[in-house]
Structure formats: C-alpha cells, structure tokens
Amino acid sequence: MKVRIGSRDSRLAVIQSEMVIKAIEKYNEKHGLKGDDAVETELITMKTTGDRILDRTLDKVGGKGLFVKELDKALLDGRADLTVHSLKDVPMEVSEDLPLLAFSKREDPRDVLILPEGEEVLNLNLPIGCSSQRRTVQIKKLYPAARVEPVRGNLQTRLKKLDDGEYSALILAYAGIKRLGLEHRVSRIFDIDEMIPAACQGILAVQGRKNFDPFFLADFNDKDARDAALAERSFVRALDGGCSSPVAAYAVTSGDRITITGFYVNDEGETFEKRISGRREDGEKLGAMLAEDMKGDADGR
C-alpha cells in the first residue's frame, strides 16, 4: 500500500514528517515487508495560509489553525492520507472526520533563549522577538526591562532577522531547535517553572481521515505523550483558549498518575498558575477541572 503524507514545506515541518516516514520504514523492516508488501510513502508539501501571512500576528488573522487548513483540505479531498503537525499548532477542536491518529514521543518541551550569533549578553536596547502571548507574559516576569516585539516566519527566517540585528534575542521551542540540529545556538533553557510551555509543545500529531487505520505507526504512537496531550488540550479547551491565547499547560505522567500544571492570564492581565494530580485515566477530566478552578480564582470565587 502507498501512504501519502502531507506536510508544510518548511524545513522543520519536512524533518518532522520524515520522522513519521522513518517510523513506517522501521515497521517494514521489523515485519520483513519488501516490494509490493511494504508500506510505501510519498511526501507531499504545501504552503499554508499561516506561512503566507507574515505581516500580522496569528491572533489577528485567525490563530494557528491557519497552519493546518490546507492540510485538512488535502486529507478531505484525498490528496493526502495522513498529515503531520506540531500538536501545539493544531486547534483545540478537531473535526470528527479528521481525528488525531498517533502521537510521537515528546521531545524536550521547554522554551529557549537564542542570542545573535557570537553574542553572550542580552542587549536590552533591542527588542526580544516573540509572537506568542504566552511567552511574552512570562518573559516580562523574567526580564522586566525588556521590550518584546512580534517576529514571524519560519525558524530560519527568524534566526536571520536575529543575526541581522533586528532583535536582541528570540524565544523559541527547544523541540524545533533540536530537530533542526541547532542546539549550539541556545543561550538559555528556561525551566518549566520559569516558563510553562504551550499545551502539547514537543509532541507531533499524525492526523487522518476517520476509519483510516495507521497500523504501521504502532511503535511510533506514544501513550505517555497521548495522555499528556489530551489532558493539556482539555485544560486549554475549557478556558476557551485558542493556540494564540495567553494560556499554557504541561502534564507529566508517572505510572497510573498524572500531574497537570496550568497557566492562565485573565482579561485584566493577572496571571494564575495552579497544579492538579490524579488518576492518569482521568487526565482529560482533571484538565477541565483545573481550568474551572482557575477561572474561579480569576473571578474571585
């Protein structure tokens, strides 16, 4: 059988899709499948609306769902059988016709500070480049004197803007930096307690049409990542928070237990952080409970 995999055309997106392709190749090797018996793959790349609109921040043009719209269409019209996404970019509400079918093992979920090439000290005379409200709120606690301005484009484009002197630093997801082999550019890794990650940061999601059986991804699909992701997405969904909202969630599984840390900013700019633990099987319920509890704190209840 042949499986067509849809991807954004950025270098990082292609690398992430190739991780899925390698998992399929491992499935073939593990089961001794060759020739017509093997699962064959074809990578189909495309630009999304989110890749084209670079003069406005995502919250002004429809949120990170703009990175998946064209890929969803490719699934629905049969041009692709599966699509690969950074799960943090996938809207919290997913169509029943296009379910999430597999979740990768989580890469390091933390955020990092990147300075211009050759620099060792943050220059507060220039802005920090960051388009995430979640990161911006938390950066200002860590660097009160810093100015933060949006920066758009793929990761290589952002790094070029940084090295050309437009920004003093960038705040980016460590997962993408590692997948691109750019760890040497990292100046500081923020602890989870310093900067709570976006929900599902570091996890890849494979999406497909309803009733499509991704049996060849059995070893790729990671239960820990899946359970953490569903709990984190439940928290954000219960707060009516989209991918660009100043909301963060991070879940950790251990045996049959799960602990979820939530971060929330209300309309007045007040920040709230709280944690909840319980049975792993109740992860989604716990995420929603934590959100409701924090909304109560924000409302003064």
- pLDDT, average across residues 95-122: 97
Q: Are 8 and 46 in contact (CB under 8 A)?
A: yes
Name the strand (E) or helix (H) holding 28: helix 11-30
d(CA 301, CA 286): 19
Q: State pLDDT tens for residues 137-155.
A: 999 999 999 999 999 888 9
Catalogue the active-site residues: 89
Predicted local confidence at residue 54, as pLDDT: 45
DSSP-derived 3-state class of residue 210: coil
Q: In 3D, which of 75, 22, 66, 19 has the Cα closest to residue 44?
A: 75
- Higher-pLDDT residue of 20, 69: 20
Q: What is the pTM of this model?
A: 0.91
Cβ neighbours around 209 below 10 Å, total:
16
**Helix axis angle, 223-238 relative to 283-299, nearest 10°?**
30
Query: Mind spelling out the 3-state secondary structure of 238-252?
Result: HCCCCCCCCEEEEEE
Name the strand (E) or helix (H) holding 258: strand 257-265
> Could you tell me how far CA 5 lies from the centroid of its own chain?
19
Q: State pLDDT tens for residues 212-240.
A: 999 999 999 999 999 999 999 999 999 97
Q: Are 186 and 114 in contact (CB under 8 A)?
A: yes
